[in-house]
């Protein structure tokens, strides 16, 4: 057990630190974080990257901006299409699991597969109109 000298700080091992009492959203902890300047924040994150790299990875992933937050609804939606001919493409589950060309609109249930004379070469493009990216059911 490490010796703690009165009046000096002590950094516990990561396993011990993870078991320290405290609640998410602890106001004291939140205030300490809010009060960090840019240099101190950089130092704290650099320390955390070596001290508990898995925790830092989780933090960075959880705080990444989500595309849905940066665009109006459906502005970032993509739809599948055939890069060889430009036709819409989808999977009609009633016909199996293969991609097929189709005409019509899934939103109003007019989507119908057709034979374009080649297998679809799938790509993704910005959706036109309301975005519906789903498996289509042939009627």
pLDDT digits (tens, 9 = 90+) for 104-139: 987 788 999 999 999 999 998 888 755 444 444 444
Q: 137 in a domain, yes or no? A: no
pLDDT of amino acid 132: 46
Number of domains in the chain: 2
Q: 40 in a domain, yes or no? A: yes
pLDDT of amino acid 23: 67
Three-class SS state of 23:
coil
Write the DSSP symbol of residue 35.
Answer: T
* Per-block mean pLDDT, blocks of 10 residues, the chain (139 long): 62 76 74 91 92 87 70 70 94 89 87 95 80 44
pLDDT of amino acid 89: 93
Judge if 60 and 82 occupy the same domain: no
pTM recorded for the entire structure:
0.43
Cross-strand pairs, 99: 91
pLDDT of amino acid 138: 44
pLDDT of amino acid 42: 93
Judge if 44 and 83 occupy the same domain: no
CA dist 110 and 38 (Å) reads 56
Q: Which of 64, 87, 103 is the last residue of a domain?
A: 64
Structural domain harbouring 55: 14-64
Judge if 27 and 57 occupy the same domain: yes
Judge if 57 and 24 occupy the same domain: yes
pLDDT of amino acid 26: 73
Take residue 74 and report the two structure tokens written for it.
């459906």
pLDDT of amino acid 114: 96
Cross-strand pairs, 122: 82
């Amino acid at each position: 057990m490490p010796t703690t000298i009165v009046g000096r700080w002590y950094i516990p091992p990561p396993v011990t630190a993870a078991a320290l009492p405290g609640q998410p959203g602890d106001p004291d902890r939140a205030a300490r974080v809010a009060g960090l300047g840019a240099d101190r924040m950089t130092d704290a994150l650099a320390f955390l990257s070596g001290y508990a790299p898995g925790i830092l990875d989780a933090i960075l992933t959880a705080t990444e901006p989500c595309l849905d937050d940066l665009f109006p609804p459906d502005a970032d939606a993509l739809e599948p299409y055939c890069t060889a001919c430009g036709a819409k493409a989808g999977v009609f589950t009633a016909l199996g699991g293969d991609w097929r060309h189709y005409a019509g609109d899934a939103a109003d249930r007019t989507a119908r597969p057709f034979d374009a004379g080649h297998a679809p070469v799938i790509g993704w493009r910005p959706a036109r109109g309301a975005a519906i990216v789903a498996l289509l059911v042939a009627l």
